[in-house]
């Protein structure tokens, strides 16, 4: 039992390390995009291997713990950790995509389009940070609010894509830059999706209620 508790503690600690890396990856990718910083974008791409390695490490830890879990609450924590790990690795992938497109965008003059992109970036980064905070603190009310907020991010992404499509129709010479910005917008929207997934898992961990296909503001069971 003592060995199990130690391994479970290691799992939680390593999950928090991975969460920190994923959040930093998105922050740096957005900063590189905003500042047209090639060196920072390249660093984001290079550091993605850290998240890949952490995913494999955490999966191995979790699988080893599954057969030993004595309580239902322990099983929930282990399965939730595995799901969050997968989401965090994909967040890192999206950060890498943003970094790659940033380097391509930096080869040409900036394009004055996608006016809502900074707002989308800010919302996606904030959602990820708040989802991770809700998971750590067990604040299920905050987690439920994040699930609802994802629809607003989806609307922003649609607005940006429509604006870029209009620019491409009017100025074919800008197609390449518009396509790169579209990829950035979609990646930010997916970061928000992964944040929503983390928030849903935070609710499941604390309340043992699966809200993935229900109204996020529904009250927890009595």
In this predicted model, what pLDDT tens digit does every residue of 180-191 receive, in sequence order? 999 999 999 999
Tell me the C-alpha distance between 39 and 86, whole Å: 27
Q: What global pTM score does this model have?
A: 0.91
pLDDT at 222 over 50: no
pLDDT above 70 as % of the chain: 95
Tell me the C-alpha distance between 124 and 156, whole Å: 11
In a domain, 87, yes or no: yes
In a domain, 21, yes or no: yes
Closest CA to 134 of 56, 80, 178: 80
Q: What are the tens digits of pLDDT across the range 53-84?
A: 999 999 999 999 988 867 788 888 899 999 99
In a domain, 191, yes or no: yes
Domain holding 118, by residue range, is 2-207
Q: Which residues of 134-173 are buried (b: 16+ CB within 10 A; e: fewer)?
A: bbeeebbebbbebbebbeebeebbebbbebbeebbeeeee
In a domain, 212, yes or no: no
In a domain, 41, yes or no: yes
In a domain, 217, yes or no: no
In a domain, 214, yes or no: no
In a domain, 221, yes or no: no
**pLDDT of 214:** 66
Q: In terms of C-beta density within 10 A (0-12 exposed, 13-18 middle, 19 or more buried), how is residue 110 classed?
A: exposed
Higher pLDDT, 96 or 219: 96
Tell me the C-alpha distance between 113 and 135, whole Å: 36
């Amino acid at each position: 039992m003592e060995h199990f508790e130690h391994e479970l503690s290691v799992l939680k600690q390593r999950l928090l390390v991975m969460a920190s890396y994923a959040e930093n990856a998105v922050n740096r990718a957005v900063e590189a995009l905003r500042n047209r910083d090639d060196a920072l974008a390249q660093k984001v791409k290079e550091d993605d291997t850290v998240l890949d390695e952490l995913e494999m490490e955490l999966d191995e830890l979790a699988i080893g713990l599954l057969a030993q879990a004595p309580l239902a609450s322990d099983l929930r924590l282990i399965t939730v950790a595995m799901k969050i790990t997968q989401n965090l690795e994909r967040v890192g992938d999206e950060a890498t995509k943003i970094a790659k497109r940033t380097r391509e965008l930096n080869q040409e003059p900036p394009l004055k389009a996608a006016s809502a992109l900074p707002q989308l970036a800010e919302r996606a980064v904030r959602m990820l940070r708040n989802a991770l905070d809700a998971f750590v603190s067990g604040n299920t009310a905050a987690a439920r609010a994040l699930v609802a907020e994802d629809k607003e991010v989806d609307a922003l992404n649609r607005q940006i894509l429509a604006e870029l499509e209009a620019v491409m129709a009017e100025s074919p010479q800008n197609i390449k830059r518009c396509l790169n910005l579209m990829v950035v917008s979609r990646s930010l929207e997916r970061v928000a999706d992964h944040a929503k997934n983390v928030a849903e898992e935070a609710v499941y961990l604390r309340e043992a209620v699966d809200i993935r296909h229900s109204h996020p503001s529904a009250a927890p069971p009595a």
